């Protein structure tokens, strides 16, 4: 589904990713762990098309297409979803409006008609229940005044509605207490399916207790320095990152 | 045209002006003519007009036109449900299109009031107006031809708003109107002014004089959505007696050049709230000048204006709060926030505080910004294209002011007006 080959990316003159390669197949859950400054967030931003990054070498192929050639909204319509580390507050735009506009943009891209208003409401209410959110959140401005946990749940709610093929979770566990972490993880787990892949970017192992990865990568200084199974995460938890560097 | 030619042109149209048999009104008009002969229309040399060029007024001869029939589609597009309607067409009151008012209100056209109750009118007409302030006030004094007279009795509360529809339907039309709103003590009324039209070009010069008795409450809202070649001046001049409340909501969306003046004088413990939104694109020029005069103690004023400027449009916001020496314990806040969407758009924002009392709480602020990149990216990452994201964020910024409107029908009309400006949004 996703093939990253020898990816080099910089911010300004500063190289951050220095030859990152990664293959993700449908149905797989990959975790990328690494110390601060390794390039974890840069990877998620480059994949989702945020401006401010220059890809200097390498390629990213998503479902056979050049991902880097697409505008951010086209990536989203093609089924790439980024759950933000810091979801943005958008005063004046209601959550339900954004959900509907986003879903319709994706449907239009796929050549499907706009979603029926009643069907949409049923779908949204169903997913809201799944994430144990209050329906009132739908009518509030996007993320405005939401707690950290509510924002992260809202990200997963959006994913649940948009049904992406590739879900990138950027530090989804940061700022969550244990209850919120459990709810968010259950939401993510409910989205797991044989045609959907996940790329979880995280600093800590604890998220992986709730969302079991198939593959764990260690990112250090812009490169994947080690790849293994779930046991690698535990090893990292025990030993820290320093033994991998240098 | 020179000032003299302008004067001669508009004087030639003035046969049969409202109240022409009244000596006191004639005297007022003569005084205005003399002032106009001296100064003409405002120019960039006038401090309060330094950002707004009115040379179009010297180039075009606007004409008084007989009252034409209003296009029924125009009327139905803007007429609000749950309101009493008073309709002005090309500056003339239309009894056929207007509703009767409840008995608690003494209301009529100003022309009729000048015939039937000239002494009452004389008590108020011109009394809230800084007559020599600038040439458009002078112009109105010299040539206003009709308007609305509303007097709300003591402790009377109207069950629904009065909507005054100012329609301009004839090319080159001049609509010079004077409206007088009197609220006796404890009266409460809501008035919604709607300036719209179909004329290819027109000049509206409409002045409201508002008199609020003790503890009275006036909510005055204005929608200016005139056609793209229109020139609009609308002024509201307000006298607020003790503990009265004046709430103004000002929506400027239309016209080529439009200016709104709002002056209010607050006496003991009076309160005012001025909210506004201007949305300008293409080559539009939208100007607002407000002056809040705290004359006595314990007054409260709140002012919040937002502006959106796109393309080659220009916005002007001049907000002045004056706190007189006797106005101790004044509590005043002013804020103006602007969104500039294009490199060629411009905003001239000038919040001013003049304080002569020593025990007051006053603040003012102004911001000019662009759309937030993080928000743009967030929306794009949710499949929304760049144009729609831009429109959505701009709409959200502006819509905050629309959301403050209480009247359901008026709010819906404003929503619709605003959404027209942002075609990439699909609700």
pLDDT of residue B13: 86
Q: Does B116 contact A at CB distance below 8 Å?
A: no
pLDDT of residue A51: 93
**Contact: A162, B373; criterion CB under 8 Å:** no
The helices-and-strands tally (H runs, E runs) of chain B is 10, 19
Q: Does B422 contact A at CB distance below 8 Å?
A: no
Statement: residue B427 has pLDDT above 70: no
Q: Does A123 contact B at CB distance below 8 Å?
A: no
Task: For residue A242, give how far its alpha carbon lies from the nearest alpha carbon of chain B (Å).
Answer: 33
Q: Does A57 contact B at CB distance below 8 Å?
A: no
Cα–Cα distances in angstroms (integers) from residue B320 to residues B55, B139, B289, B342, in the given order: 25, 24, 8, 27
pLDDT of residue B238: 98
Mutate to test the interface with B, among A70, A78, A90, A143 (most CBs of B within 10 A): A90
In this prediction, residue A205 has a pLDDT band, given cuts at 50, 70 and 90, of confident
Statement: residue B421 has pLDDT above 50: yes
C-alpha–C-alpha distance, residues A212 and A189, integer Å: 9
pLDDT of residue A154: 94
- Which ipTM was obtained for this model? 0.96
- Among residues A105, A87, A92, A98, the alpha carbon closest in space to that of B308 is found at A92
On chain B, the residues whose CB falls within 8 A of the CB of A88 are 374-375, 377-378
Q: Which chain A residue has its CA at the smallest distance from B400's CA? A: A92
pLDDT of residue B423: 86
Cα–Cα distances in angstroms (integers) from residue A32 to residues A54, A106, A226, A238, in the given order: 21, 27, 10, 17
Q: Which chain A residue has its CA at the smallest distance from B378's CA? A: A88
Cβ(B175)–Cβ(B90) under 8 Å? yes
**Contact: A90, B379; criterion CB under 8 Å:** yes
Burial of B416 (0-12, 13-18, 19+ CB in 10 A): exposed
Q: Does A87 contact B at CB distance below 8 Å?
A: yes
In this prediction, residue A245 has a pLDDT band, given cuts at 50, 70 and 90, of low
Q: Does B419 contact A at CB distance below 8 Å?
A: no
Residue pLDDT, tens place only, B311-360 = 999 999 999 999 999 999 999 999 999 999 999 999 999 999 999 999 99
Name the residue with tokens 């003519």: B33
Q: What is the sign, positive or negative, of the torsion defined by CA atoms of B69, B71, B76, B80?
A: negative
In this prediction, residue A246 has a pLDDT band, given cuts at 50, 70 and 90, of very low
Mean pLDDT score of chain A: 93
pTM of the predicted structure, to 2 decimals? 0.92
Q: What percent of chain A has pLDDT over 70?
A: 98
Q: Which chain B residue has its CA at the smallest distance from A90's CA? A: B375
Q: Classify residue B389 by its DSSP letter.
A: H
Cβ neighbours of residue B332 under 8 Å, at least 6 residues apart? B292, B294, B299, B300, B301, B302, B321, B323, B353, B360, B361, B362, B363
On chain B, the residues whose CB falls within 8 A of the CB of A50 are 377, 381
**Contact: B373, A77; criterion CB under 8 Å:** no
Six-digit token pair at B197? 């039209």
Cα–Cα distances in angstroms (integers) from residue B383 to residues A106, A107, B158, B380, in the given order: 6, 10, 48, 5
- What is the phi/psi pair of residue B351, to 5°? -80, 135
- β-pairing, A197-202 vs A29-33, is parallel
**Contact: B383, A77; criterion CB under 8 Å:** yes
Mutate to test the interface with B, among A52, A70, A73, A107 (most CBs of B within 10 A): A73
The arrangement of secondary structure in A2-244, i.e. its CATH architecture, is 3-Layer(aba) Sandwich (3.40)
Statement: residue B363 has pLDDT above 80: yes
Statement: residue A128 has pLDDT above 50: yes
pLDDT of residue B256: 97
Cβ neighbours of residue A238 under 8 Å, at least 6 residues apart? none
pLDDT of residue B269: 98
Residue pLDDT, tens place only, B105-137 = 999 999 999 999 999 999 999 999 998 899 999
């Amino acid at each position: 589904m996703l093939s990253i080959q020898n990816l080099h990316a910089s911010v300004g003159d500063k190289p951050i990713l220095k030859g990152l390669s990664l293959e993700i197949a449908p149905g797989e859950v990959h975790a990328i762990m690494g110390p601060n400054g390794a390039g974890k967030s840069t990877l998620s931003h480059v994949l989702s098309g945020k401006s401010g990054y220059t890809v200097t070498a390498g390629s990213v192929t998503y479902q056979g297409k050049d991902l880097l050639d697409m505008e951010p909204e086209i990536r989203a319509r093609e089924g790439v979803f980024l759950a933000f580390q810091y979801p943005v507050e958008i005063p004046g735009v209601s959550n339900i409006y954004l959900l509907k506009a986003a879903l319709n943009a994706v449907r239009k891209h796929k050549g499907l008609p706009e979603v029926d208003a009643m069907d949409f409401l049923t779908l949204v209410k169903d997913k809201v229940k799944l994430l144990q959110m209050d329906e009132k959140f739908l009518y509030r401005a996007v993320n405005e005044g939401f707690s950290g946990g509510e924002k992260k749940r809202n990200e997963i709610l959006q994913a649940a509605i948009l049904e992406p093929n590739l879900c990138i979770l950027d530090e989804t566990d940061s700022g969550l207490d244990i209850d919120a972490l459990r709810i968010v993880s259950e939401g993510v787990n409910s989205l797991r399916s044989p045609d959907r892949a996940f790329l979880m970017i995280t600093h800590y192992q604890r998220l992986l207790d709730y969302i079991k990865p198939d593959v764990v990568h260690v990112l250090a200084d812009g490169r994947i320095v080690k790849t293994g199974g779930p046991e690698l995460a535990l090893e990292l938890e025990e030993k820290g990152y320093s033994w991998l560097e240098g | 045209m020179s000032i003299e030619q302008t004067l001669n042109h508009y004087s030639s149209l003035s046969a049969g002006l409202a109240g022409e048999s009244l000596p006191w009104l004639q005297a007022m008009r003569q005084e205005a003519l003399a002032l106009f002969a001296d100064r003409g229309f405002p120019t960039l040399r006038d401090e309060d007009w330094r950002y707004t060029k009115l040379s179009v007024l010297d180039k075009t001869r606007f004409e008084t036109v007989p009252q034409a029939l209003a296009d029924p589609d125009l009327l139905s597009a803007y007429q609000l449900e749950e309101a009493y309607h008073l309709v002005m067409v090309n500056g003339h009151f239309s009894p056929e299109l207007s509703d009767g008012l409840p008995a608690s209100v003494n209301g009529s056209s100003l022309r009729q009031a000048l015939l039937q109750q000239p002494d009452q009118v004389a008590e108020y007409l011109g009394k809230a107006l800084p007559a020599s302030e600038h040439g458009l006030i002078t112009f109105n004094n010299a040539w206003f031809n009709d308007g609305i007279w509303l007097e709300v009795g003591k402790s009377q509360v109207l069950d629904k708003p009065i909507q005054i529809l100012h329609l301009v339907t004839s090319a080159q039309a001049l609509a010079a109107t004077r409206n007088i709103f009197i609220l006796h003590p404890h009266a409460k009324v809501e008035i919604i002014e709607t300036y719209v039209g179909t004329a290819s070009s027109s000049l509206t010069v409409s002045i409201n004089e508002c008199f609020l008795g003790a503890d009275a409450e006036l909510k005055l809202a204005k929608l200016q959505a005139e056609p793209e070649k229109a020139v609009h001046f609308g002024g509201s001049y307000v006298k607020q007696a003790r503990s009265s409340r004046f709430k103004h909501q000002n929506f400027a969306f239309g016209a080529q050049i439009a200016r709104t003046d709002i002056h209010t004088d607050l006496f003991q413990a009076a309160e005012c709230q001025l909210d506004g939104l201007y949305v300008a694109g293409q080559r539009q020029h939208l100007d607002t000048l407000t002056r809040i005069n705290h004359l006595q103690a314990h007054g409260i004023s709140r002012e919040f204006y937002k502006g959106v400027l796109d393309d080659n449009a220009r916005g002007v916001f001049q907000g002045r709060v004056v706190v007189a020496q006797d106005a101790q314990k004044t509590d005043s806040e002013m804020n103006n926030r602007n969104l500039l969407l294009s490199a060629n758009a411009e905003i001239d924002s000038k919040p001013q505080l003049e304080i002569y009392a020593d025990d007051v709480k006053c603040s003012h602020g102004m911001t000019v910004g662009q759309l937030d990149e993080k928000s743009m990216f967030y929306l794009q990452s949710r499949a929304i294209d760049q144009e729609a994201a831009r429109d959505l964020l701009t709409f959200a910024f502006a819509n905050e002011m629309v959301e403050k409107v209480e009247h359901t029908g008026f709010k819906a009309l404003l929503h619709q007006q605003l959404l027209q400006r942002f075609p990439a949004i699909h609700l």
